[in-house]
Structure 1
Amino acid sequence: MNKTQASMLSNILEDKASKRIYVTKLCTQDLPHIIEYLDDISSKNGATKIIVKVPTKYSPFFNQYNYQLEAYIPAYFADQTDVLFMCKYTQKERQQAEKHYLGLLQNMCNTLPSTCTKSLNQALHLRELCNTDIPNMISVFKQVFETYPFPIFETDFLQQSMLDGTRYFGVFEANKLVAISSAECDAENKNAEMTDFAVLPSHRGMCLASHLLIEMEHALRKDKYVTVYTIARLQCMPMNKTFYNAQYQYTGTLIQNTQISGSIQSMNVWYKRL
């Protein structure tokens, strides 16, 4: 995934593996020219989806150009306004979601959330990770993910993400790292994306993702964060259930959005006010 370098001030990612253009941070000074610019780089790169995180007040502008709302996060910005995930497709076939998994998601949402009652095994301990943990982090990520939308298998990327404010947490058995998660922190707006959950197959079924999520929420509350959210694979029902049980609210599905674990998959957006 490459960051586009051009006259635009917005943060624009060309995600060739996912065949999408992703505007992760919209600079309103780029309006209205960003529409034509996105269309142009989409065509040049063979991207079949453009997705933009749009402050609510600018959604009418994007609606004019056939962008559709797929999901949103309330109170995303410091002034407590929302952000909308607005999308445009250049290939009709890409707009088809995985109906079977949407049905499973609906069934889950029709049930009451249930809290994991398993305490952390006494043989395990949980702590925040640092630079010296990076080799072990890469080893876990490689065992869990065939492919990933960001270069989490690379030392330089993980080091830079830590410098940029992403906080990683891990569960250890003795000195062996067995589970990871991260909080990608936006200190200015006091929101964080809860992401990069990876649990070794040998340690699944122990509620480790739930324990990591609780620990991250606790750390973020101490730092006065307001909103946390995740973008979870539609096909990974256990991960969706982890957030559902933790009282996160579902706001929509990003259709055929992200190349992960070997294929382009739809992603569910969940949020929670701390």
Structure 2
Amino acid sequence: MSEVNRSLFDTCDLLEGASIQYGPNSSRVYLMSMKQAEPARLPAAMYQLAKAQGYGKLIAKVRQCESEHFFNHGFTEEARLPGYYPAIGESEGGSASIHEDALLLGAYLDSERQIDTKAAEHEKVLTLAHNNLSKVTSAPHWQVIPLDEVYVEEMAHLYREVFPSYPFPIHEASYLLETMSDNVSYFGIKHQGRLIALASAEQDLDNMAVEMTDFATSPEFRGLQLAAALLNKMESCMEQLGFRQAFTIARAGSVGMNRTFAKHGYHYQGRLINNTQISGQIESMNIWCKPLCVEKTK
């Protein structure tokens, strides 16, 4: 398969010193990390970039103490991650009780995009995700393994099989190889020598939080709790590394993925409306998070 045009995918860049993603597929500018930027300068800069590119949405992940600058420019809260940030001035060994929420704030240049036309369906998905939750049981016959550079061709093949399109070029082995050196760990399940499921743990080392993401299961193996097996292993590995919070951004229309996280003790924290282009259409995304049980070392 020839490599696709990467200009169609999200670009990672700096804006006024802050870390952003932006691209035409999801038609948005996403502020991921303030870094050393001045918060008051970001809202106007984001609007300017989005207008220049013709994008329909802005999304910003910011500390609660920085949010007023964004509210003053028409942003509203869509979701939050409780206790995501250590308090400013706290060291890594500081009190675990002193943390600050991350707010996910949205603003729209396209007024129609802020309307969730599938709101009723999405609420039904949440209800189904929470109904009759049973304790997660392990599936010993599915062995989850870490995936390194040896597996990138297989990984890219499975992502192509599952996702016709995606915000990032996960269909390319070269891109997956790049991410492995950028704090992204991959895990997979093989059956009879074939990779049938995989997911990634995208690590925020500054805040010791990890996003559980990019779950993909070969269509013929769905319904076998493979995502649950992956999540179990990923959580265990991230806890051992000292990560204190896990979160995910799940497709709001997927009962299976939302239910997987609900069963694992994740808490629903809001919805990003018409936020992400996956498989050819802009989809709303649910935010779920969970504190991890960090192992104490002597």
Per the TM superposition, whether the score is higher than 0.5 is yes
Judged with a 3 Å threshold, the aligned counterparts in structure 2 of structure 1 residues 130 and 106 are, in CA distance, closer, same or farther, namely closer
TM-score calculated relative to the size of structure 1:
0.94
Task: Give the alignment partner of residue 111 of structure 1, picking from 112, 131, 135.
Answer: 131
TM-score calculated relative to the size of structure 2:
0.87
1:105–1:237 contact (8 Å) kept in structure 2? yes
CA distance in 2, matches of 1:144, 1:115: 28
2:125–2:254 contact (8 Å) kept in structure 1? no
2:155–2:173 contact (8 Å) kept in structure 1? no
Q: What residue number does 1:2 align with?
A: 11
Judged with a 3 Å threshold, the aligned counterparts in structure 2 of structure 1 residues 27 and 126 are, in CA distance, closer, same or farther, namely closer
Listed as ranges, the gaps of 5+ residues in structure 1 are none
Q: What residue number does 2:35 align with?
A: 27
Q: Secondary structure at the match of 2:17?
A: coil
Give how far 1:50 is off. 0.3
Which whole-Å deviations, capped at 9, do the CAs of 1:128-172 have from their partners, x for residues lacking one? 000010000001000000111111112232112110111100001
Deviates more, 1:177-186 or 1:70-79: 70-79
Paired residues, what number?
271
Q: Secondary structure at the match of 1:149?
A: coil
2:130–2:259 contact (8 Å) kept in structure 1? no
CA distance in 2, matches of 1:27, 1:223: 23
CA distance in 2, matches of 1:54, 1:28: 12
Kindly report which structure 2 residues correspond to 1:179-198, keeping only aligned pairs within 5 A, or say none. Answer: 179-198=197-216
Q: What residue number does 2:181 align with?
A: 163
Judged with a 3 Å threshold, the aligned counterparts in structure 2 of structure 1 residues 178 and 110 are, in CA distance, closer, same or farther, namely closer
Give how far 1:107 is off. 2.0
Q: What residue number does 1:273 align with?
A: 291
1:120–1:208 contact (8 Å) kept in structure 2? no
Kindly report which structure 2 residues correspond to 1:49-60, keeping only aligned pairs within 5 A, or say none. Answer: 49-60=57-68
Task: Give the alignment partner of residue 175 of structure 1, picking from 176, 180, 193.
Answer: 193
- Is 1:102 matched up with 2:122? yes
Task: Give the alignment partner of residue 262 of structure 2, picking from 229, 235, 244.
Answer: 244
Query: Identity of aligned pairs, percent?
Result: 32
1:199–1:208 contact (8 Å) kept in structure 2? yes
CA distance in 2, matches of 1:201, 1:113: 24
1:118–1:207 contact (8 Å) kept in structure 2? no
1:18–1:259 contact (8 Å) kept in structure 2? yes
Judged with a 3 Å threshold, the aligned counterparts in structure 2 of structure 1 residues 216 and 33 are, in CA distance, closer, same or farther, namely same
CA distance in 1, matches of 2:178, 2:155: 14
Judged with a 3 Å threshold, the aligned counterparts in structure 2 of structure 1 residues 223 and 118 are, in CA distance, closer, same or farther, namely closer
Q: What residue number does 1:147 align with?
A: 165
Q: What residue number does 2:74 align with?
A: 66
